[in-house]
Chains A and B, each alone.
Chain A
Amino acid sequence: MVQLPQRFHDWFATKGWAVHPHQQAMLDRAADPALLLIAPTGGGKTLAGFLPTLADLATSPHDGIHTLYISPLKALAADIKRNLSTPIAQMGLDIRVEDRTGDTPASRKRRQRADPPHILLTTPESLALLTSFDDAPRMFRGLKRVIVDEIHALAESKRGDQLFLALARLQTLCPDMKRVGLSATVEDPAAIAHVLARHPDPCDILLADPGPAPDIQMLTTDEAPPWSGSGGKYAIPAVLEEIKKHKTTLIFHNTRAQAELYFHNIWLANEDALPIGIHHGSLDKVQREKVEQAMVRGDLRAIVCTGSLDLGIDWGDVDLVIQIGAPKNVKRLVQRIGRANHRYNAPSKALLVPANRFEVVECVAALDAVREGQLDGEPRSPGPRDVLCQHILITACAGPFDADTLFAEIKSVGAYSALSRADFDDCLDFCATGGYALRAYDQWKRLLQRPDGTWQLRDPRATQNIRMNIGTIQDTDTLKVRMKRARGGKPLGEIEEGFAATLTPGDTFLIGGQIVRYEGLREMTVEVSRDKGKKPKIATFMGTKFATSTQLSERILHKFQQDTWPDLPGHTAEWLALQRKVSRLPEPGRLLIESFPHDGRAHTAVYGFAGRNAMQTLGLLLTKRMEELGLNPLGFLATDYAILIWGLDPVTDPAPLFDIDALRDGLDTWLAGNAVMKRTFRASATIAGLIQRNTPQQKKSGRQATFSSDILYDTLHKYDPDHVMMHITREEAMKGLIDFNRIEDMVARVGGRIDLIAHKRVTPLAAPLFLEVGRVPVKGMAEEKLLAEEAARLMATAGLPPITS
């Protein structure tokens, strides 16, 4: 057992702490090339990561950088700096700790490169930028350890892919560098260990004592949840009662728009004026920091929030977590619950509030999964190639490189360990020549091969453009919102450009919990004024709608199979019993389809339980198949568990609709012109360096002269459909929003076991679908027709004569 220096023991003793077993284990295994620690929040995880560093630096002097700490959030880096400074100061250690993020002043950044601190706290993007400088070998000389915090969050994103590529680079510079990962509870620790370690090195996993099981329940209310919707407004009185009973409550929502609406509604009902704040990623930084500080001071009784509070910053004494709406994913739920009670060995307390009747079933299924300790997760797919292209450009910024060496280095990254040479070469060719079938850029290659075979940038000034565009986070086009004042009013936050475009002066919407009136657009800023109204239009913040996980969907199907439902509230049990009486309930391994007339249209409900994204894709494909089969579909709507299709003719023989080969063919043709593909292309092309978000020229002129990425997509599709960017787009779309894998799984699971039930009227299970929003019309000339109507209306309103074409 490795002994801590005496002053560490003394310091622990003055705090009345003992070294946790997992902290000791981290010390004992400090020489492991890679080590993953899985510990619950509040388990002294970060200290466990830093103890070996502090002990080493306390006993042997070190010149230059010793440990690099990477976290997904700038705020977390700042938080850790504070938390480390205390023990360092109290133990009188001579250790320099600094953070480096996008917010760090340029002068300090320059100094850090010349004279790095012992411990540098940073983010994946800032690290990638550091590795792009030619002095990186000097800066990182002597680096012994890398600590990746909240690795479970990074491992699931392109930010993580970029980070691990950068670590491979550092490992080449510092072959003895040890890697440590710190993770919250996850379903598949081995998968995280795989991305952390240098492939194929082993990576052991340390599991800390998970602590007592959480105290987690569904909130029961006098009023039954509504049939549809996702706001959870009905439960506000009960939630207010819970807030009163606790010190600080976090109220989690799945989307920002829901959080805004909920915050508005809870204040309308907040008769005791309990101090309640709101926190989400679209709010202005200053506003967010205010809420964070108020929270740390303990001034707030509750915070309405979204995933922006998911990660492990210590926000003070939270003793209750409330999740509004079904959690969709058991793992995220468990991690959110971990936000309550940061004291080790005290159970976290959490309440689930189903937003509608169906979510009651989903919440109960999620509770079962938490009790059984069964987390869910989708298998990790191979490392994305758009990030790889950016990495090649970053590598070129640092100086000439050899393609074979770079390929070997990339293959040492877990996510890219299966990368083929051909796929790598395509990316290299893309970075060098654009990779087009028409070899147009011979004269203007981005990368040139030198006589010795290594690659370098043609124009060294290109480093500036590349560095300005490092990163994988996609900001959708958002506009800043400000109060209208003579000299630029208070910034409130951001809204999507698409939403802003639907506003006309006088329209109202919610932001930061207040209703504001749209006044106009000035220099790409939305100007608003305060509004006393009661009914706002709601800001539609972009952002992923989470799909219900595979495991949770399976659990719901199994719950349906019970003879009775004593574990469900009466209203929900009765609803399911009625469905079983008039039709039947969906079963695992079978596919239930209901067909019934309603409102003069033939309706078809398909209970696929494949999650929102896959069901949306299936809806598009099925309506396309129905169109081909002459069933005249008019539109559809998808939820996590079902698709409702309406049209002129009923489905009588469902089998041909679900022919997987026909669906796959349909996917290929449909995908090409699809908005999802265009959105994915935009993201991937930006990461790969084909589209530049930031240019020096743009900074100068302030106006953007770029054309839309859709045009680039259409052009490639028309003239060069086999281009590597088109392949990358397809790869990314398939794993993301299209989620075709889950459709294939579903069709395979079901086999031919499709049950078509024809009914005279809407069935109990289908009824809530009619109340859901998000109807998708089956397109065609529909858009032109709408546009013609609108143009005529606008001309008439303006008193201008209609023009015939």
Chain B
Amino acid sequence: MNGCAAQLNQARLTALGSGALWWADQSLLCVSDLHLGKSDRMARRTGVQVPPYDTRDTLLRLSQDLDRTAPRTVVCLGDSFDDLAAAGALSEDNRLWITKLQAGRKWIWIEGNHDPGSIDLGGTHMDSYTLAGITFRHIANPDERDEISGHYHPKVQVALRGRVISRAAFLMDSLRLIMPAYGTYTGGLRTTDPVITALMASDATAIMTGPVPHRVPMPR
């Protein structure tokens, strides 16, 4: 598996280069911040019409990860839809595609700040989900531990002999793991932002996504 090993409490996890998290012992795949329908929402709200292929591309990458890992459980860690109207405006093709991806497995939609209500799609809607001592929720709770969350879209920049590489990244310390955004049209927040430095311990590391995931000390 093209991934980087990550341990949270007793859970042995694998951070995939695609931005998905694989928990082999539980046969669970977690993705965060899909932001499906983002282009639709942008057109609706600002009039700007970005290429309307983001939902298709995000689902394509997700289906590839599902093919590779064949999980029994899928957790979408919130902000799966850019807003509830965008969820409602999904094309029939994409709706069918999601249904096909859900076939034969347990599918959990964690609610996020962008999609705080239920949507007209199969799967279970939850505020948070706990399995084998690990809690999945959208926004990290600073008072909790053994927690996997999303929301911040962390990204990391590394300077290499005159060029700068910037990639979405997993962040982790001994208490929590924060997922990168999986959606095709998602920006990132640098780990130097005070919101993130306040949340992560001083020995936190980051795993940069990409063709080969790389682990670096979290820049702060």
Q: Are B47 and A715 in contact (CB under 8 A)?
A: no
- Contact segment of B72-80, B131-139, B156-164: B156-164
Which residues of chain A come closer than 8 Å to B185, judged between CB atoms?
707, 711-712, 715
B191 to chain A, nearest CB (A): 12
A800 touches B47 (CB 8 A): no
Say whether B122 faces chain A, with CB atoms less than 8 Å apart.
no
Q: Is A590 in the interface zone, CB < 8 Å from B?
A: no
Flag whether A1 is at the interface (Cβ < 8 A): no
By the criterion CB–CB under 8 Å, are A705 and B187 in contact? yes
B91: nearest residue on chain A (CB-CB)? Answer: A440
- Whether A434 and B203, one on each chain, are in contact in the complex, defined by CB atoms closer than 8 angstroms, is no
Apart from A440-B43, A444-B40, 16 more pairs, CB < 8 Å: A436-B51, A444-B44, A458-B47, A465-B48, A521-B192, A707-B185, A707-B188, A715-B51, A715-B57, A715-B184, A715-B185, A720-B53, A784-B211, A787-B208, A787-B214, A804-B5
Chain A contacts for B210, CB-based, 8 A: 784, 787
A selection of 13 A-B contacts at a CB cut-off of 8 Å is A438-B52, A440-B43, A440-B91, A707-B186, A715-B51, A715-B184, A719-B53, A720-B51, A720-B53, A783-B160, A784-B210, A788-B214, A800-B217
* Chain B residues with CB under 8 A of A722: none
Q: A506 to nearest B CB, angstroms?
A: 14
Residue A462 interfacial (CB < 8 Å): yes
Complex interface: chain B residues within 8 A of A791 (CB): 158, 208, 214-216
Query: Would you give the shortest CB distance from B27 to chain A, in whole angstroms?
Result: 21
Minimum distance in angstroms from A706 CB to a CB of chain B: 5
Q: Is A498 a contact partner of B51 (Cβ separation < 8 A)? A: no
Q: Is B201 an interface residue (CB 8 A)?
A: no
Cα distance, A691 to B185, chains bound together (Å): 13
Q: Does B32 contact A (CB under 8 A)?
A: no
- Separation in Å of the A616 CB from the closest CB of chain B? 16
Nearest A residue to B186 via CB reads A707
Taking CB atoms, residues of chain B closer than 8 Å to A462 are 46-47
Is B70 close to A, CB under 8 A?
Answer: no
Cβ–Cβ contact B212 & A805, under 8 A: yes
Across the interface, name the chain A residue whose C-beta is closest to B15. Answer: A805
Query: In this assembly, does A546 line the interface, its C-beta being within 8 Å of a C-beta of chain B?
Result: no
A residues near B103, Cβ cutoff 8 Å = none
Q: Give residues of chain A (645-692) contacting chain B, Cβ–Cβ below 8 Å.
A: 689-692
Interface residues on B, range: 35 or more
Whole-angstrom CA separation of A800 from B210 in the bound complex: 21
CB distance from A711 to the nearest CB of B (A): 6
Of A689, A786, A800, which is within 8 A of B160 by CB? Answer: A786
Q: Is B111 an interface residue (CB 8 A)?
A: no
CB neighbours of A145 from chain B (8 A): none
CB neighbours of B43 from chain A (8 A): 434, 440-441, 444, 446
Chain A proximity of B128: nearest CB distance (Å):
24
B162 contacts which chain A residues (CB < 8 A)? 502
Q: Given the complex, which residues of A lie within 8 Å of B159, measured CB to CB?
A: 501-502, 504
Question: In this complex, which of B47, B56, B203 has the most chain A Cβ atoms within 10 angstroms of its Cβ?
Answer: B47
Say yes or no: B3 contacts A805, CB within 8 Å.
Answer: yes
Q: Is A81 an interface residue (CB 8 A)?
A: no
Given contacts A715-B57, A719-B56, contact A704 B187 (CB under 8 A): yes
Of residues 784 through 803 on chain A, the ones whose CB sits less than 8 Å from some CB of chain B are 784, 786-788, 790-791, 794-795, 797-798, 800, 803
Which of A695, A704, A794 is within 8 Å of B217, CB to CB? A794
Q: CB within 8 Å of B: which residues of A?
A: 433-434, 436, 438, 440-441, 443-444, 446, 457-459, 462, 465, 498, 501-502, 504, 521, 689-692, 695, 704-708, 711-712, 715-716, 718-720, 723, 783-784, 786-788, 790-791, 794-795, 797-798, 800, 803-805
Enumerate chain B residues within 8 angstroms of A692, measured Cβ to Cβ. 46, 48
B52 in contact with A436 (CB, 8 Å): yes
Which residues from 191 to 220 on chain B have a C-beta closer than 8 Å to any C-beta of chain A?
Answer: 192, 203, 205, 208, 210-217
Interface presence of B54 (CB below 8 A): yes
Tell me which residues across on chain A come within 8 A of B188, comparing CB atoms: 707
Q: Within B53-79, which residues are at the interface with A (CB < 8 Å)? A: 53-54, 56-57
Q: Tell me the bound Cα distance from A805 to B159 in angstroms.
A: 22
CB pair B51–A716 under 8 Å, yes or no, is yes
CA distance A295 to B179 in the complex (A): 55
Residue of A at shortest CB range from B166? Answer: A501
Contact between A805 and B4 (Cβ–Cβ < 8 Å)?
Answer: yes
Q: Across the two chains, which residue of chain B brings its CB closest to A447?
A: B47
CA distance A466 to B217 in the complex (A): 42
Which has the most chain A C-beta neighbours within 10 Å: B4, B49, B52, B164?
B49
Q: Give the nearest-CB partner of B218 in chain A.
A: A798
**B50 sits at the interface (CB 8 A):** yes
In the complex, what residue of chain A is closest to B52 when comparing beta carbons?
Answer: A440
The 5 closest A-B pairs by CB, nearest first: A434-B49, A440-B52, A444-B43, A791-B214, A707-B187
Q: Are B57 and A790 touching (Cβ within 8 A)?
A: no
> What CA separation (Å) do A760 and B49 show in the bound complex?
59
A783 to B162 CA separation, bound complex (whole angstroms): 12
Q: Please, which residues of chain B bring their CB within 8 A of the CB of A498?
A: 164
Who on chain B is nearest to A462 by CB? B47
Given A787-B165, A791-B214, A795-B217, residue A444 in contact with residue B184 (CB < 8 A): no
Inter-chain CA distance A462–B47, complex, in Å, is 7
The distance from the CB of B64 to the nearest CB of chain A, in whole angstroms, is 14
Which residues on the A side are within 8 Å of B158 (C-beta)? 787, 790-791, 794
Residues in B neighbouring A805, C-beta threshold 8 A: 2-5, 212-213
In Å, the complex CA distance between A433 and B47 comes to 10
Query: Does B149 have its Cβ within 8 Å of any Cβ on chain A?
Result: no
Q: Which residue of A lies closest to B14 (CB)?
A: A805
A695 and B213 in contact, given A498-B164, A783-B165, A787-B165 (Cβ under 8 angstroms): no
A141 to B188, CA, bound (A): 49
Q: How far is the CA of A798 from the CA of B206 in the complex (A)?
A: 13
Q: CA–CA, A784 to B166, complex, Å? A: 13
Q: How far is the CA of A436 from the CA of B56 in the complex (A)?
A: 14
- Measured between beta carbons, the chain B residues less than 8 angstroms from A502 are 159, 162, 164
CA distance A94 to B215 in the complex (A): 72
Question: Nearest chain A CB to B200's CB is how many angstroms away?
Answer: 14
Give the complex CA separation of A786 and B162 in angstroms.
12
Interface string of B158-181 (1 = CB under 8 A from A): 111110111000000000000000
Q: Assess whether B18 is interfacial by the CB under 8 Å rule.
A: no
CB distance from B149 to the nearest CB of A (A): 18
Report the minimum CB–CB distance from A728 to chain B (whole Å): 14
- Contact residues in A for B2 (Cβ distance below 8 Å): 805
**Shortest distance between the CB of A227 and any CB in chain B (Å):** 23
Which B residues are in CB contact (< 8 Å) with A803?
4-5, 215
Q: Which residues of B contact A798 (CB under 8 A)?
A: 217
Measured CA separation A541–B211 after assembly (Å): 31
Report whether B205 and A800 are in contact in the complex, using a CB–CB cutoff of 8 Å.
yes
B203 contacts across to A, CB distance below 8 A: 800
Alpha-carbon gap, A720 to B39, bound state (A):
15
The answer to whether A719 touches B57, judged by C-beta atoms less than 8 angstroms apart, is yes
- CB-CB nearest in chain A for B192: A521
A797 to B219, CA, bound (A): 13
Tell me the smallest distance from the CB of B34 to a CB of chain A, in Å: 14
Q: Shortest Cβ distance from A747 into chain B, in angstroms?
A: 31
Question: Nearest B residue to A500 by beta-carbon distance?
Answer: B164
Closest-CB distance, A226 to chain B (whole angstroms): 23
Most chain A beta carbons < 10 A, residue from B43, B44, B54, B210? B43
Tell whether, in the assembled complex, residue B47 and residue A465 are in contact, meaning their CB atoms are under 8 Å apart. yes
B215 touches A795 (CB 8 A): yes
Chain A residue nearest to B213 (CB atoms) is: A805
Shortest B50–chain A CB gap in Å is 6
**Whole-angstrom distance between the Cβ of B182 and the nearest chain A Cβ:** 13
Contacts of B215 in A (CB 8 A): 791, 795, 803
- How far is the CB of A302 from the nearest CB of chain B, in Å? 32
Most buried by B among A458, A462, A718, A720: A718
A716: which B residues are within 8 A, CB to CB?
51, 53
Contact A790 B160 (CB under 8 A): yes
The answer on a CB contact under 8 Å between A690 and B49 is: yes
